[in-house]
Amino acid sequence: MRILKYVLAALSLQFLTLLPFTQAAQAGLPLVDSQGKSLPTLAPMLEKALPAVVNIATTATVKARVNPLLDDPFFRRFFDIPEQPREQKTSSLGSGVIVDADKGFIITNNHVIAKADEITVALSDGRQFKAKLIGTDPETDVAIIQIKADNLAALPMADSDKLRVGDFAVAIGNPFGLSQTVTSGIVSQLGRSGLGIMGYEDLIQTDASINPGNSGGALVNLGGELIGINTAIFSQSGGNIGIGFAIPINMARGVMQQLIKHGEVKRGRLGAQAQDLTPDLAQAFNLKNGHGGAVITQVSPDSAADKAGLKAGDIVVELNGKPVRDASDVRNVIGLLRIGQRVELKILRDNKTKNLVAVVSEPITAKKKGQALHKRLKGAQFGNIQEGSRLHGRIEGVLVLNVEKGSPAARAGIRKGDVITSANRKKIKNLEDFKAAIKGSKKLLLNIQRGNAALFLYL
């Protein structure tokens, strides 16, 4: 079976390839040819939109990969090998969109500028500027940078909630370093989630050609309005096969406002877990087939959800006046709210409609040092999987928050980011389960989920 993979559409300067020409969608504003015939064209719209899309180049310092033998001073002296550099410079290319011409704010992807030491923005008129990083949000893959320049052009933002499958879409960006490139297609699907690309997913799928270097670029409608920020492709080879994804501009705009105002996104917590309302569950709750919504499976005591009166078994059908399709919608809406903000919930309870109001609260972070749990876990720190984590709702267990280098936990093979799903053959959901499962044990048998792989560790 072939393995399909998601590729973030950023571009290394060392990578270049030639791709076949793809025909643009035959839609746009009319143009009269030399014989008086009216022809469709996107040119008038693009003449206004192109100056607002910029090229982004970054440089970063990363640790160099060195053969362990070259770290040995005796080996280097014996073979007269000079000491190897510990760091090296890397460069990458991406795209960005000017959204505020007066203040010089630019939206791009977090993965375009992540860990960059220097960010350079090139405009369509040839001018170049050093950019200031305003803030990033890895969970939505949104970043805001700023340049100080006159005579900038900005793209107006559309309402991406009004998009429909089949609407025409135009991608503008910097694929493979080829600046100011335009491709066209349609909106192939909306609300794509569960792809594992980022923490909060509600993505636009499009067949407008998106390639490495398009990341952070614009997805616009035929009116030249910004509907999304291009971010990733689904590909076996790393090149475009007609399945690209963009962050809806409504989501990006909400993140942008928080980053500009606060420099970060500090997410609130509802304190409830939800799952998709499947046809079987809809039947069990005596609902009509095809009914959208999310079923509340658990409510944490004293949480915002508990104080609002939400209960397990409630079916959330609307949040802040917008229909809820599934559990991802609940997570996305709550994930964009700051601590102290209100959220209005329309629920079904026993087939009766109720309206509730919750005020999202600060996440309760439970942490435990390894040595407090077991001597063989010394040097590690463990925590529950938080509501805002991309792992929340996908896996149950205890998250390894940190591991000290050279500690007993590190020597045993425990790594930061591991999720311990069982201990001593007992399934665990949280720190309390973990503590109970290993209490009094001389040895530990841990079942660990590490990325897409699973393994046992015997300590």
Domain segments of the chain: what residues? Answer: 1-264, 272-359, 367-458
Q: For position 1, what pLDDT does the model report? A: 31
Compute the average pLDDT of residues 158-187.
91
Dihedral sign from CA coordinates of 205, 210, 216, 218: negative
**Catalytic hit among 92, 95, 209, 215:** 215
- Annotated catalytic, 215? yes
Q: For position 90, what pLDDT does the model report? A: 67
Q: What percent of the chain has pLDDT over 70?
A: 82
- Annotated catalytic, 141? yes
H-assigned helices in 61-151: 73-78, 110-113
Number of CB atoms found within 10 A of residue 26's CB: 11
- The helix (H) or strand (E) run that includes residue 334 is helix 327-335
What is 367-458's CATH topology?
Pdz3 Domain (2.30.42)
**Catalytic hit among 92, 95, 137, 141:** 141
Compute the average pLDDT of residues 445-455.
88
Q: For position 224, what pLDDT does the model report? A: 93
Instruction: Give every CB contact of residue 359 below 8 A, 6+ residues apart in sequence.
Output: 304, 307, 308, 340, 341, 342, 343
* pTM, full prediction: 0.68
Q: Do 1-264 and 367-458 agree at the fold level?
A: no
What is 272-359's CATH topology?
Pdz3 Domain (2.30.42)
Q: For position 218, what pLDDT does the model report? A: 93
- Annotated catalytic, 111? yes
Q: Per residue in 47-91, pLDDT tens?
A: 999 999 999 998 877 565 555 555 556 555 656 666 655 556 667
- 1-264 sits in which CATH class? mainly beta
On whether the CB atoms of residues 221 and 206 are closer than 8 A, the answer is no
Q: Which of 14-18, 49-53, 155-159, 251-255 has the lowest mean pLDDT?
A: 14-18
On whether the CB atoms of residues 227 and 163 are closer than 8 A, the answer is yes
Q: For position 145, what pLDDT does the model report? A: 95
**Catalytic hit among 111, 207, 314, 418:** 111
Q: Which of 2-16, 123-137, 183-197 has the lowest mean pLDDT?
A: 2-16
Q: Which of 60-64, 291-295, 440-444 has the lowest mean pLDDT?
A: 60-64
Q: Per residue in 296-343, pLDDT tens?
A: 988 888 888 889 999 999 999 999 888 888 888 888 888 888 888 889
Q: Does the structure show a pLDDT above 70 at 422? A: yes
Closest CA to 285 of 347, 346, 242, 337: 347
Two structure tokens written together for 6: 């998601």
Q: Does the structure show a pLDDT above 90 at 169? A: yes
